[in-house]
Amino acid sequence: MLAAQAKHPSSEPVDPHAPFVLTLTASGGPRLAALNAAAEAAGLTLGQPLADARAKAGFLQARESNPAADAAALRRLALWATRYTPTASPWHADNGADGFFLDIEGAAHLFGGEEKLLADLAARLHENFGLPARLAVAGTSGAAWALSRFHAEPCIALASGGEAAALSPLPVEALRLPPDTCATLRRLGFKTVGALLDKPRAPFAARFPAELLRRVDQALGRLDEPLVPVVPPPVYHVLRYLLEPIITQQAVLALARRLMNTLVHVLARDDVGARALRLSLYHVDGAVETVDVGLTLPTRDVAHVARLLDLKLETLAAMQEAGFGFEAIGLAVTRAEPVPARQLKLDVGRHPEVRAQRASKEDGRSVLSSFEGHLRWSPQDDDNVERCAALIDTLRGRLGPHSVRQFVPVASHNPERAEILPPINGEMSASWPEPEQPRPLLILPRAERAEVTALVPDGPPRRFCWRGVTYDVTGAEGPERIGAEWWRRNDGHRTPEPTRDYYLVEDSGGRRFWLFREGLYGRETAPARWFVHGLFA
């Protein structure tokens, strides 16, 4: 675990050689949230009241901190640090943004070891952002944080298992405890972490908050400490550092193709496909741009992924203002799903039985035909689904994720509530249930009133007038009765919906309509009201 503490400069000009602090509003007045080296040399400490600091240091430059801006800047910095490992987690102390953690397990060897990774990180923080940083590598995040803040060396790599010995000489503030808890410990004579380690735990548990023993256990590795990554960790990830920065969209897309080709081998090995990908572009000046791509079906198709990335890059502002270019590009599969095995080719000519029959030259042609007849498999349906998914992905990439919609069935007896039209969010709609009765191809958004003539009040229509046109009915099927949904009507706020009797009718010109009579005759409505609700072919 690697912890970094970055000391950010103030936005206003200050004298770097004079004591300078950032303050945070707290109960009892402003308190110190950050200080420079001169302020530390003057004996000032974090959490100290500003009034006491002014009395102690004399001339003191003070600015009010901006926690929201600090948190946003720290998040951007942690996102930039994903060039070293996919798992980067900002750390926010009680007094604001403090640093970030990097989980470099399994990644340090890519940079030549932990020491070289630390050197590269420190150099880039200074060159790209002008940030002097204190860095530490340890087996636990608590130990890494303590060493980065309180160890004499600005960069240190601690071997796993040496946490207790390294933490013992450090002050109790190294345990990330509140200032009040640290002050109480010092009054009782516990000034270093080592003074706490060999003492019975029961008195501390009885007198201090549970956070004290929890921090001790986290620093020594006895208790896990979950960290929240700045972005969800990817399932598969590949990163390419470039000898020379690239600027053009074509160069970025070509490199993305190569990265996807690398991922395809791993995806095929695990029998999965990519459902969501993230392209990360690392600028020379330290900025990071990400491009997220969602797919309707899991895929390992490099060309399809490249087309979607091309559409995204066309609208990316970073491609228009690339500056000095991109020095590294990463491609990650953030969501993967199983892909059923498919037989794309069947070469029966290589089968030993077929070759033996061909060699005999007796009836090889009939044997081959019989063999092919048993093993032939047609992927036509799967190909149609994949082509449809590719079309959806392309439309979503060009028109936007909320511009492409699909009908989704809803469990409702009411026809106008039996389906919705939400945006496609990367999921194919479920299969539609087969209707028990015929349904029209076109259902009107709202049923429209019609004047209907029937032989008897509750019989089928014989003639109806709709939209100013009169139709003579030559045949009718029905009724299909659809009752009110009981779970919707007993809410005490609206009247119950009347029962509907639906008829499929055909006029003298062969046109078919879907009509319904609202309400049961003599019980719910009188006289009956008729509506046209749909049209058949």
**Pair (86, 41) in one structural domain:** yes
For 124-167, write each residue's pLDDT tens digit.
998 888 888 899 999 999 999 999 989 989 999 998 888 999 99
Q: What percent of the chain shows pLDDT beyond 70?
A: 83
> Between residues 286 and 309, which one has the greater pLDDT?
309
Task: Tell me which residue of 112, 28, 11, 110 sits closest to 70, measured CA to CA.
Answer: 11
Angle (nearest 5°) at CA 470 between 469 and 475: 130
| Top-ranked range on mean pLDDT: pick from 219-233, 258-272, 347-361, 397-411 | 258-272
pLDDT at 356 over 70: no
Task: Give the separation between CA 30 and CA 327, rounded to whole angstroms.
Answer: 42
**Pair (53, 182) in one structural domain:** yes
Task: Give the separation between CA 192 and CA 173, rounded to whole angstroms.
Answer: 8
User: pLDDT tier at 430 (50, 70, 90 boundaries)?
Assistant: low
Please give the full DSSP string across 229-261, using - where no structure is assigned.
Answer: -SSPPPSEEEEEEEEEEE-SHHHHHHHHHHHHH
Q: Tell me, what's the pLDDT at 329?
A: 94
pLDDT at 360 over 70: no
Q: Tell me, what's the pLDDT at 223?
A: 92
Of 214, 229, 244, which one is at a domain's C-terminal end?
229
> Between residues 349 and 529, which one has the greater pLDDT?
529
Task: Give the separation between CA 454 and CA 476, rounded to whole angstroms.
Answer: 11
DSSP state of 171: B
Angle (nearest 5°) at CA 458 between 457 and 463: 65
Average pLDDT over residues 389-398: 82
Q: Tell me, what's the pLDDT at 530?
A: 92
**Pair (193, 70) in one structural domain:** yes
| Top-ranked range on mean pLDDT: pick from 260-274, 317-331, 380-394 | 260-274
**Pair (90, 60) in one structural domain:** yes
pLDDT at 295 over 60: yes
**Pair (169, 252) in one structural domain:** no
pLDDT at 383 over 70: no
- Over its C-alpha atoms, the chain yields an Rg (Å, rounded) of 36
Going across the sheet that includes 2-6, the strands are 88-93, 96-102, 2-6, 133-137, 155-157
Task: Tell me which residue of 470, 464, 444, 453 sits closest to 536, measured CA to CA.
Answer: 444
Average pLDDT over residues 415-435: 74
Q: Tell me, what's the pLDDT at 363?
A: 47
pLDDT at 92 over 60: yes
Token pair in block for residue 515:
């009509």
Task: Tell me which residue of 230, 227, 209 sits closest to 218, measured CA to CA.
Answer: 227
Domains identified in the chain, total number: 3
- Spatial contact of 316 and 447, defined as CB atoms under 8 Å apart: no
pLDDT at 24 over 60: yes
Task: Give the separation between CA 497 and CA 160, rounded to whole angstroms.
Answer: 71
DSSP state of 172: G
> Is residue 262 domain-resident?
yes
Q: Tell me, what's the pLDDT at 458?
A: 79
Phi, psi dihedrals of residue 225, rounded to the nearest 5°: -125, 100
Query: What are the counts of helices (DSSP H) followed by strands (DSSP E) for the chain?
Result: 17, 20
**Pair (62, 157) in one structural domain:** yes
**Pair (147, 250) in one structural domain:** no
For 510-531, write each residue's pLDDT tens digit.
999 999 998 877 666 667 789 9
Q: What is the CATH number of the domain that holds 245?
A: 3.30.1490.100
Token pair in block for residue 381:
């349906």
User: pLDDT tier at 366 (50, 70, 90 boundaries)?
Assistant: very low
Of 288, 312, 338, which one is at a domain's C-terminal end?
338
Q: Tell me, what's the pLDDT at 535?
A: 93
End-to-end Cα spacing for the chain: 67
pTM: 0.68
pLDDT at 296 over 90: no
**Pair (252, 137) in one structural domain:** no
Q: Which of 7-16, 189-198, 270-279, 451-460 has the lowest mean pLDDT?
A: 7-16
> Between residues 458 and 139, which one has the greater pLDDT?
139
Of 338, 364, 398, which one is at a domain's C-terminal end?
338
pLDDT at 442 over 50: yes
Angle (nearest 5°) at CA 359 between 353 and 361: 110
- Spatial contact of 111 and 120, defined as CB atoms under 8 Å apart: yes
Task: Give the separation between CA 172 and CA 162, rounded to whole angstroms.
Answer: 18
Task: Give the separation between CA 62 and CA 52, rounded to whole angstroms.
Answer: 13
**Pair (173, 248) in one structural domain:** no
For 41-75, write each residue's pLDDT tens digit.
888 888 888 888 888 888 889 988 888 888 888 89
What is the domain range of residue 49? 1-229
Average pLDDT over residues 230-234: 87
Average pLDDT over residues 401-406: 81
Locus of tokens 């026809």: 415
- Spatial contact of 266 and 236, defined as CB atoms under 8 Å apart: yes
Burial track 18-52 (b if 16+ CB lie within 10 A, e otherwise) = ebbbbbbeeeeebbbbbbbebbeebebebbbebee
> Is residue 141 domain-resident?
yes
Task: Give the separation between CA 45 and CA 225, rounded to whole angstroms.
Answer: 27
> Is residue 30 domain-resident?
yes
**Pair (257, 331) in one structural domain:** yes
Q: Tell me, what's the pLDDT at 459?
A: 85
**Pair (82, 101) in one structural domain:** yes
Return mean pLDDT, the chain.
Answer: 83
